[in-house]
Amino acid sequence: MTRYLPLVRAALARRRARTVLTIGSVLIAFLLFALLMSVRQAFLGGIHAVGKRILITANVVSLVSPLPLADRAIIASVPRVRRVAYEVWFGGYYRRTGNFLFALAVDPPTFVAELRSELGLSPRARARWIADRRGLLVGNAIARRFGWHVGEVIPLRSNIWRRSNGTNTWPVRVDGILRPSEKRYAQLALLHYHYLSETVAKSTGLSGKVSLYRVEIAHARDAAAVSRAIDARFANSPDPTRTSTARTFLLNFLDQIADIGTIVTAILAAVFFTMLLVTANTMARSVRERTAEFAVLRTLGYGPGRLFGLVVAEAALLVGAGALLGLLLGLGLIVVLHGLLATILPGFALPPSSFALGLALVVLFVLASSVVPYLQIARLAVADALRRE
């Protein structure tokens, strides 16, 4: 089929400016596709990894409203609950508020037990941290970023909590560095809950309270029943709870920021729809302008099927070239942005599934922009087209 290539190339060279603009619009569409799919991946990509056997119990009012620490024993007594950990969102930063880190105040024994396998933490570092009231565990991404080493004392600051001494600085010692298999844990900083709750100002109302409970259950299939059972225990308490799987919890949490998935889909739909109009218009015009040429090819013995094949090849070259350039440019940008956004959006990368989706979109757009040309070719009245010239 390569013998038809000069013919297809010549057709595209016929109106260079239009060809370039069309390829440009496809390029931009696929560049946006690459970038937005990477943003989506950064937000939602980790969600599959979230354990299905972990439930989150939080205050029904809002995430900001804490729950009493006393609830822990009650949750632990619910059948089929294995372990209960708890945490407080610390709102940590280092020196400047821009140096944000994902800091949680946790109960060391239970928390590490829950996440041990995923954190890449040596048993010695773990023991050291559990024993050290002012100890801190940090992900390797943070340690690298701020140049922290084990044994160093860090003035960790909170943008949520104040101490009873009036400052918002908690000195902590780095007891261990996490080398997690999953990127999202590389941003983590873990300090002791009791250190925080015993030093926090009374006015904060935090002492004796936690932000949420992480509940481990034996089987994922029990998630709904156990969630209902936990919430039933607190239905008539001053602080009713809402329990959901960690996955649902994370999705709801992200929804409160923005419905990333829907936004990405909506933007891409608009972009691709515009792109489709441009390519379809280009193809329809190009074929209409060449009506006489197609008629001549018919006199030479070209059938309608072959002419349509040439047009599809033309559309494939247009869309394919634009898509390839857009994806390559996108990948280049993603590599650059990945470095720049490493701390804000870890996991900003184009997932392999997006390439398959991109390829499917190319095929779809080639076919869609060939519909009008198909009709034009099928209806071509050769004798009339030759006379019109």
Partner 1 sequence: MTEIAAQPSSEPLIRLERVSKSYRRGGETIQVLDRVDLAIPRGDFLALMAPSGSGKSTLLNLLGGLDRPDEGSILFDGVALESLGPRALTRWRAIHVGFVFQLYHLLPVLSAARNVELPLLLQRLGRAERARRVAAALSLVGFPDDRHTFRPTELSGGQQQRVAIARAIVTNPTVLLCDEPTGDLDRRAGDEILDLLVELNRRLDKTIVMVTHDPHAAERARTLVRLEKGLVGEIRATSS
Ligand X SMILES: Nc1ncnc2c1ncn2[C@@H]1O[C@H](COP(=O)(O)OP(=O)(O)OP(=O)(O)O)[C@@H](O)[C@H]1O
Cβ closest to partner 1, residue 192 vs residue 290: 290
**Residues across the chain:** 389
Specify the residue for token string 């929804």: 255
Interface with partner 1 by CB under 8 A: which residues? 3-4, 6-7, 10-11, 13-14, 292-293, 296-304, 306, 382-383, 386-387, 389
- The entry of partner 1, ligand X, none that residue 299 binds, CB within 5 to 8 Å by partner kind: partner 1
If DSSP codes are grouped into helix, strand and coil, which group holds residue 55?
strand
Neighbour-count burial of 50, counting CB atoms closer than 10 A to its CB (0-12 exposed, 13-18 middle, 19+ buried): middle
> 14-44 burial, b if ≥16 CB within 10 A, otherwise e?
eeeebbeebbebbbbbbbbbbbbbbbbbbbb
- The entry of partner 1, ligand X, none that residue 11 binds, CB within 5 to 8 Å by partner kind: partner 1
If DSSP codes are grouped into helix, strand and coil, which group holds residue 77?
coil
- The entry of ligand X, partner 1, none that residue 126 binds, CB within 5 to 8 Å by partner kind: none
Beta strands in 288-360 (DSSP E): none
Compute how many other C-beta atoms are within 10 angstroms of the C-beta atom of residue 105.
27
- The entry of partner 1, ligand X, none that residue 277 binds, CB within 5 to 8 Å by partner kind: none
- The entry of partner 1, ligand X, none that residue 72 binds, CB within 5 to 8 Å by partner kind: none
- Say how far apart CA 250 and CA 43 lie, in whole Å: 10
Nearest distance from C-beta of residue 287 to partner 1, angstroms: 14
Q: Is 384 in the site for ligand X (CB under 6 A)?
A: yes
Residue 48, CB-side half-sphere exposure with 13 Å CA sphere: 3
Cβ closest to partner 1, residue 284 vs residue 386: 386
Cβ closest to ligand X, residue 356 vs residue 383: 383
CB–CB of 295/386 below 8 Å?
A: yes
Cβ closest to ligand X, residue 37 vs residue 385: 385
Cβ closest to ligand X, residue 80 vs residue 387: 387
- The entry of partner 1, ligand X, none that residue 231 binds, CB within 5 to 8 Å by partner kind: none
Nearest distance from C-beta of residue 298 to partner 1, angstroms: 7
CB–CB of 20/282 below 8 Å?
A: no
Q: Is 388 in the site for ligand X (CB under 6 A)?
A: no
Residue 191, CB-side half-sphere exposure with 13 Å CA sphere: 29
If DSSP codes are grouped into helix, strand and coil, which group holds residue 245?
strand
Nearest distance from C-beta of residue 383 to ligand X, angstroms: 7
Nearest distance from C-beta of residue 303 to ligand X, angstroms: 22
Nearest distance from C-beta of residue 387 to ligand X, angstroms: 6
Cβ closest to partner 1, residue 267 vs residue 375: 375
Task: Determine which helix (DSSP H) or strand (DSSP E) holds 93, and give its type and residue range.
Answer: strand 92-94
Cβ closest to ligand X, residue 14 vs residue 387: 387
Site string for ligand X, 328-367 (x = CB under 6 A): ----------------------------------------
> 298-329 burial, b if ≥16 CB within 10 A, otherwise e?
beeeeeeeebbbbbbbbbbbbbbbbbbbbbeb
Nearest distance from C-beta of residue 387 to partner 1, angstroms: 7
Residues of this chain, 240-269, that bind ligand X according to CB under 6 A: none
- The entry of ligand X, partner 1, none that residue 293 binds, CB within 5 to 8 Å by partner kind: partner 1
DSSP codes of every residue in 154-213: EEEEESS--BTTS--EEEEEEEEEE--SSGGGGGEEEEEHHHHHHHB-GGG--TTEESEE
- The entry of ligand X, partner 1, none that residue 6 binds, CB within 5 to 8 Å by partner kind: partner 1
Cβ closest to partner 1, residue 82 vs residue 387: 387
- Chain residues binding ligand X by CB under 6 A are 384, 387
